[in-house]
Amino acid sequence: MKNFLKNVVGILLVVAIVAQTGIVLALSKSELENQQAQNQKEIDQLTKDMEEIEAKKSATMKEVESLINQIADYQSQLDKLNSQISDLESKISQAEKDIVAKEEEYNTQKQLANDMLIAMYEQGETTYLEVLLTSTNVVDFISRYYLISELTSYNIDLLESIEKERIEIENIKAELQNDKKELDTAKASKQAKYNELKSAEAQKSAYVSKLSAEEKSDQEELEKFKADQREIENQLRKLQDTSKGDITGTPSKSGYIFPIPGLSKANINNKTYPSYSGHTGVDININVIGKNVVAVKDGTVEVSTAKLGSISSYDSNGKRIRGYSSYGEYVIINHHDGTSTLYGHMLPDSRRVVAGQEVKQGQIIGTVGNTGNCQPRPTPSRPTAGTHLHFEVRIKGSPVNPLPYLP
């Protein structure tokens, strides 16, 4: 009887556990379905907002935006060419100095060798017998013969050294000529790119005169954003030489985590890169409100700042806060593996790191927000509109497709 009761109790416990597990699984499934529905709702809203924004743009404004992006690209290429030209000119200048110094050393050594060879020739061949006859004793003989042997050996080493110097000078001169050709090519490319830039600017000016007041304001903000992007790229190029770690090593895609804990690429509405002309990162914009932003890998904070401007931002209650432009509140981290990452549009005053600070992978650096140039823009009735994390990966200051770096 006892055994029967034990079996009954055991069966009831198993049934209870299975039933409870079923409830948990059901709840989990329900939660997942709700989350999926919410994500789809956000995607639909984002798509609708962007379509409305695009529909409001006139054909002229679209042309202006296209030209602004072209101009920004030309300017970025000119910045790179200027940097290349500067580096080549420095390299050529140093090579020319090295050649002068090495030729002076070469000529000095060559003259010394010539003088020694003439002296040895005039003295004639020295034999063991001559050294023996002119020596006062055995010790003197050994010393004299050792000196002669060493002198002969020195002459041979000197001649070999002179030959090495000659070959090195020829190699430096050959490399110098290659650098000069590369410099000429870079200067020609710069001039061509400059002509394209001026042509695009002239076209843009013609279109801008036809824009409405609101469109002109949008155009000015877009140009400011592009100028800020250039400033960041130039700043990062300079940091290659002055930062604590190397920004220009061999880029690595390994070991990165997603910049918002608990989310993944599924939370990126548009996974095309670039998602539109001139867009230098990806926008993580699904189910992100109130979420923290973390460092994707260990590194050093190179930049932690806020770009202030006229674009309105609002808190969760619809109260207006100070204006921002471009990336708004943003952070750049150097990962010392050839890459740096940028995190843009974070909430006002949410940044938790400062320039020069060492950070660990997964460390919180701020909160997702909508400061800066975000679309759609936040309004008092929709203070969280445009909330997203703009995430970039940069190599040598220039942005690359960040998607391969994200898990």
Are β-strands 358-359 and 299-314 bridged in parallel, bridged antiparallel, or unpaired? antiparallel
Q: What is the CATH number of domain 214-405?
A: 2.70.70.10
Q: CA-CA distance, 185 to 371, in Å (whole number)? A: 42
In this prediction, the residues of the chain whose per-residue pLDDT falls under 50 are 1-27, 128, 131, 243-245
Tens of pLDDT, residues 133-181: 555 555 555 555 555 555 556 566 666 777 777 888 888 888 888 888 8
DSSP assignment of 185-246: HHHHHHHHHHHHHHHHHHHHHHHHTTS-HHHHHHHHHHHHHHHHHHHHHHHHHHHHHHSSS-
The answer to whether the beta carbons of residues 296 and 361 sit under 8 Å apart is: yes
The answer to whether the beta carbons of residues 400 and 394 sit under 8 Å apart is: yes
Give Cβ neighbours of residue 237 (< 8 Å, ≥ 6 apart).
Answer: 79, 83, 396, 397
DSSP helix/strand/coil, 51: helix
> Can you give the pLDDT at residue 25?
40
Count Cβ neighbours within 10 Å for each residue of 266-288 and write b for 16 or more, e otherwise. ebbbbeeeeeeebbbbbbbbbbb
> Can you give the pLDDT at residue 23?
39
Counting Cβ atoms within 10 Å, is residue 138 exposed (0-12), middle (13-18) or buried (19+)? exposed
> Can you give the pLDDT at residue 139?
55
The answer to whether the beta carbons of residues 282 and 332 sit under 8 Å apart is: no
> Can you give the pLDDT at residue 16?
44
> Can you give the pLDDT at residue 398?
82
> Can you give the pLDDT at residue 246?
54
DSSP assignment of 265-296: GGGBS---SSSSTT--SEEE-SS-TT-EEE-S
Amino acid sitting at position 179: D
The pTM score is: 0.59
